[in-house]
Amino acid sequence: MPDAIATRVSRIIAGGAHALLDKAENLAPDAVMAQSIREIDKVIGEVRGDLGKAEAGKHLLLSHIAKLNTEHVKLDEQIEIAIAEARDDLAAAAIGRQTDIEDLLPVLEKSLDEQSERAKELESFIVALNAKKRELEQTLTDYQTTLAAEAAAPGTSSASSRQARVEEAESSFGRVLSRQTGTAAVFSGVKNDAGKLKELAEMQRSNRIAERLAAAKATRVQE
């Protein structure tokens, strides 16, 4: 689910290195950080899977839109033939199909825009997760270097410098989060009398067909 992925990505990106080190304080720090890196790899794989589905959805929508546009053009030719043969009934049927196509296209194009936005969002998640992974890998390397230095010189403490590096990493993670994972969704709906709305829609459709049939016949006469 999109919300679940967004929540998991946000949680991973927002988690500071300092908190991770605190969590690892009484455990095996190397193992805890390595596990966090593996978790990021797993989530990246899931996001890539969702991205593939979004791209496939875009492809299907583009194909359907192209098919409807081609059909609309073909219907223009059929309408001319029907009018030339004085078959208003056939011309009206073809115009009716054109109006259906014209009603469908905006919805499909809106869905295409939504799929495109979703794909961009997922791509930004992957960028942010990879950035987080690199930061954690660097934190792990720094932690191991610190341990090695402390082991070599037991009387020297580098806790303050380590904390400074951790705080810098946290600040970087925060910037990545605000830049890469902001999402918003607005949902609205209107409830009305279904029967009356259906009747109104049919009336509008009939008027559109009649007007376009009259216009097509007028154009034919002028030619």
What's residue 203's pLDDT? 81
Numbers of helices and strands, H then E, in the chain: 6, 0
What's residue 55's pLDDT? 95
List Cα–Cα distances, 134 to 23, 63, 208, in angstroms. Answer: 20, 39, 59
Longest dimension (CA), the chain: 103
Contact 134, 111 (CB under 8 A): no
What's residue 182's pLDDT? 40
What's residue 48's pLDDT? 93
What's residue 49's pLDDT? 94
The domain ranges of the chain are 2-187
What is the CB neighbour count within 10 angstroms for residue 51?
A: 18
**In what helix (H) or strand (E) does residue 146 lie, and over which residues does it extend?**
helix 88-152
What's residue 198's pLDDT? 66
Sign of CA dihedral 171, 127, 117, 187: negative
Q: How many angstroms separate the CA atoms of 174 and 23, rounded? A: 19
pLDDT tens-place values along the chain, 223 residues long = 456 777 777 777 666 555 555 554 545 667 777 888 888 899 999 999 999 999 999 999 999 999 999 999 999 999 999 999 999 999 999 999 999 999 999 999 999 999 999 999 999 999 989 888 888 888 788 777 877 776 776 555 445 554 554 454 444 444 443 444 343 332 233 344 556 666 777 787 788 888 888 888 888 777 6
What's residue 16's pLDDT? 55
